[in-house]
Copies of this chain bind each other. A is one copy, B any other.
């Protein structure tokens, strides 16, 4: 299973290094910065799975970074955990209202932050935590790399697997071909957008079973979405 990608935005150098070390030894891929603007850049060029964001940082403020992450389509749904000083309840509420998913007050134990990160990821992207995902009548076991539908084991190629996994992590949501290329093929892949159609077709073929209706919805001039059942 691919390591969950964390983006750590933290001023305090000692703390940042400590956390980076701890998270990496827990199997996360961490990129860290102390600067808000740089954080936005990093997030834009390779969408992280989760952002840990100190509220008091250089460059754009934490609130501002949060707001801007939410505004960008590619990062709008990335969960954010913010770090705040203990007293600042007002900050916390404003942070949550701006779109942060969670906060933790300083000082905190790394162990607690780890638990919190795991909890958020489990909620948002169960597959990253190694849990099986179910969407409608399909079930995906990321550990065993298995996909089944109504008890039938499905045979899909690597690309189709990544594609369906991504869809199952975000059911019902419509993704443009560009977004799918970024998410499934990797940011900056130089692939024809039309090629996505082809893989959609292959996936459709692979998950056809008991002639139940096709769970992949085509949204004209917008993209595709996976609908339960």
Quick one: which of A96-145 are within 8 Å of B by CB? Answer: 96-97, 99-102, 109, 111-112, 115-116, 118-120, 122-124, 143-145
Q: Is the CB–CB distance between A101 and B79 below 8 Å?
A: no
A220 within 8 A of B: yes
Choose from B100, B116, B119 the contact partner of A119 (Cβ within 8 Å): B100
Chain B residues whose C-beta falls within 8 Å of the C-beta of A100 in the assembled complex = 119
User: Of A96, A112, A120, which is in contact with the most chain B CB atoms at under 10 Å from its CB?
Assistant: A96
Chain B residues whose C-beta falls within 8 Å of the C-beta of A122 in the assembled complex = 99
Quick one: which of A48-105 are within 8 Å of B by CB? Answer: 79, 89, 92-93, 96-97, 99-102
Q: Is the CB–CB distance between B144 and A172 below 8 Å?
A: yes
Query: A133 to nearest B CB, angstroms?
Result: 11
Q: Is the CB–CB distance between A111 and B93 below 8 Å?
A: yes
- Given the contacts A101-B119, A119-B96, A119-B101, A220 and B143 also touching, CB distance less than 8 Å: no
Query: A199 to nearest B CB, angstroms?
Result: 14
A186 within 8 A of B: no
Chain B residues whose C-beta falls within 8 Å of the C-beta of A119 in the assembled complex = 96-97, 99-102
Closest to A170 in B: B143
Q: Is the CB–CB distance between A145 and B89 below 8 Å?
A: no
Chain B residues whose C-beta falls within 8 Å of the C-beta of A124 in the assembled complex = 123
Q: Please list the 7 inter-chain residue pairs (A to B) with the smallest Cβ-Cβ separation, ordered nearest first.
A: A96-B115, A158-B221, A96-B119, A145-B174, A144-B172, A93-B115, A145-B219
Q: Give me the interface of A with B, judged by CB distance under 8 Å.
A: 79, 89, 92-93, 96-97, 99-102, 109, 111-112, 115-116, 118-120, 122-124, 143-145, 157-158, 172-174, 219-222, 225
Question: Can you pick out 21 interface pairs between chain A and chain B where the beta carbons lie within 8 Å of each other?
Answer: A79-B123, A92-B112, A93-B109, A96-B112, A96-B115, A96-B116, A97-B119, A99-B122, A101-B119, A102-B119, A123-B124, A143-B173, A143-B174, A144-B172, A144-B173, A145-B174, A145-B222, A145-B225, A157-B220, A158-B221, A158-B222
